[in-house]
């Protein structure tokens, strides 16, 4: 079942001072309720998307640590490196008041999470499953850090850009009297996996005017990655105008690897050399850089 992020905001009116104070409750990706009495000011992010989004909201001093090898934005390189494999004492000694994780880390390192919470460090697990949840996720980050206005603007600016890119895709289709390109979007080559409908990558593809040929991909272990298999891919061989593959830590592939895959020679896109590689950071993460992915996909599908 798809998990949602809910933000409950209540305002407590001071009867004596006639003042207003803020309190909030965040329901994280695993259904845990975290009560917040004040914004968090010393944050360790153990997921690159959290790091990107926190910086986008204008936070810098508040971020005291990021996950290993994080290099975007540039400011992230200057932050202290943390890992879920580190000793809990490293987190405790840092003086962090919040550690942001995602469900994969919570499941994989329960003892770390337990130790941090016991030491009065809030641990919040967030990871949106689709774009609507991404908006809620950005707003949640804004609430946690007293950047509500910035988060709302982030959402509105993103939606405005989505309208723009949809119009660009439509204009290119109309100007050349083309039909929408049918695309197979590879997530993990070695396991023949694609993205499920509603995922960030498929949202980017469809916003760019492409048609996902793997609409019947079923989610694997509750993720946005779906098992598809070579047999299914080849059954759609004549339909695939463009073969698109993400590349990065999750999928270290190339055009030559895809071309050389046994049986793939019958795929229309492979025959026509319509194989393209795109950085997973701009199609798989719930960040503002998803717009870069959309822009690249438009230029791949419908060149000016």
**CATH at 10:** 3.40.50.1980
Given 118, 146, 174, the domain boundary residue is 146
- Per-residue confidence (pLDDT) for residue 177, from 0 to 100: 80
pLDDT(3) > 50: no
Q: How many domains is the chain built from?
A: 2
Whether 44 maps to a domain, the answer reads yes
Given 119, 146, 173, the domain boundary residue is 146
- Per-residue confidence (pLDDT) for residue 142, from 0 to 100: 95
Distance (Å, whole) CA 197 – CA 209? 15
Whether 201 maps to a domain, the answer reads yes
Query: What residues contact 277, with CB distance under 8 A and at least 6 apart?
Result: 245, 246, 247, 253, 254, 255
pLDDT(19) > 60: no
| Longest alpha-carbon distance in the chain | 77
pLDDT grade, residue 27 (50/70/90)? Answer: confident
Helix axes 48-56, 131-145, angle to 10 degrees: 60
Would you say 243 and 266 are in contact if contact means Cβ atoms under 8 Å apart? no
Q: Are residues 186 and 288 in the same domain?
A: yes
Given 146, 180, 213, the domain boundary residue is 146
Check: pTM over 0.85? Answer yes or no.
yes
- What phi and psi, each to the nearest 5 degrees, are found at residue 119? -90, 15
Q: Are residues 15 and 142 in the same domain?
A: yes
Would you say 186 and 199 are in contact if contact means Cβ atoms under 8 Å apart? no
pLDDT grade, residue 13 (50/70/90)? Answer: very low
Whether 157 maps to a domain, the answer reads no
pLDDT(18) > 70: no
Q: Are residues 172 and 99 in the same domain?
A: no
Q: Are residues 125 and 182 in the same domain?
A: no
Angle ∠(145,148,150) on CA atoms, nearest 5: 100
Mean pLDDT of 291-295: 98
Q: Are residues 139 and 183 in the same domain?
A: no
pLDDT grade, residue 159 (50/70/90)? Answer: very high
Can you say whether the dihedral through the CA atoms of 233, 237, 241, 244 is positive or negative?
positive
- pLDDT per position as a tens digit, 171-216: 999 987 889 999 999 999 999 999 999 999 999 999 999 999 999 9
Whether 84 maps to a domain, the answer reads yes
Q: Are residues 27 and 138 in the same domain?
A: yes
Q: Are residues 117 and 169 in the same domain?
A: no
Which of 230, 263, 22, 233 has its CA nearest to residue 145?
A: 22
Q: Are residues 135 and 76 in the same domain?
A: yes
pLDDT grade, residue 21 (50/70/90)? Answer: low
Domain region containing 67: 6-146
Burial class of residue 151 (count of CB atoms within 10 Å of its CB; 0-12, 13-18, 19+): buried
Three-state secondary structure call for residue 150: helix
pLDDT(5) > 90: no
- pLDDT per position as a tens digit, 54-78: 999 999 999 999 999 898 999 999 9
pLDDT grade, residue 33 (50/70/90)? Answer: confident
Whether 254 maps to a domain, the answer reads yes
Q: Are residues 90 and 175 in the same domain?
A: no
- pLDDT per position as a tens digit, 218-277: 887 778 999 999 999 999 999 999 999 999 999 999 999 999 999 999 999 999 999 999
């Amino acid at each position: 079942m798809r998990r949602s992020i809910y933000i409950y905001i209540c305002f407590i009116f001071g009867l004596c001072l006639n003042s207003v104070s803020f309190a909030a409750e965040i329901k994280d990706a695993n259904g845990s309720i975290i009560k917040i009495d004040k914004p968090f000011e010393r944050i360790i992010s153990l997921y690159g998307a959290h790091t990107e989004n926190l910086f986008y909201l204008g936070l810098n001093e508040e971020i005291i640590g990021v996950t290993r090898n994080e290099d975007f934005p540039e400011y992230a390189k200057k932050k202290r490196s943390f890992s879920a494999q580190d000793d809990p004492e490293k987190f405790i000694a840092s003086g962090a008041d919040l550690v942001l994780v995602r469900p994969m880390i919570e499941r994989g390192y329960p003892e770390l999470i337990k130790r941090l919470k016991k030491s009065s460090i809030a641990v919040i697990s967030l990871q949106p499953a689709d774009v609507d949840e991404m908006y809620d996720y950005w707003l949640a980050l804004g609430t946690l850090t007293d950047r509500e206005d910035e988060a709302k603007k982030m959402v509105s600016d993103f939606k405005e850009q989505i309208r723009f890119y949809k119009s660009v895709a439509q204009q290119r289709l109309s100007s050349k009297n083309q039909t929408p390109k049918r695309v197979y979007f590879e997530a993990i080559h070695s396991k023949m996996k694609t993205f499920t409908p509603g995922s960030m990558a498929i949202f980017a593809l469809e916003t760019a005017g492409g048609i996902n040929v793997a609409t019947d991909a079923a989610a694997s272990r509750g993720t946005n990655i779906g098992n598809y298999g070579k047999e299914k891919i080849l059954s759609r061989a004549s339909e695939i105008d463009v073969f698109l593959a993400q590349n990065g830590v999750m999928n270290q592939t190339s055009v030559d690897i895809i071309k050389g895959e046994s049986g793939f020679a019958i795929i229309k896109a492979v025959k026509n050399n319509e194989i393209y590689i795109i950085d997973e950071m701009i199609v798989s993460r719930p960040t503002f850089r998803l717009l870069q992915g959309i822009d690249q996909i438009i230029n791949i599908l419908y060149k000016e």
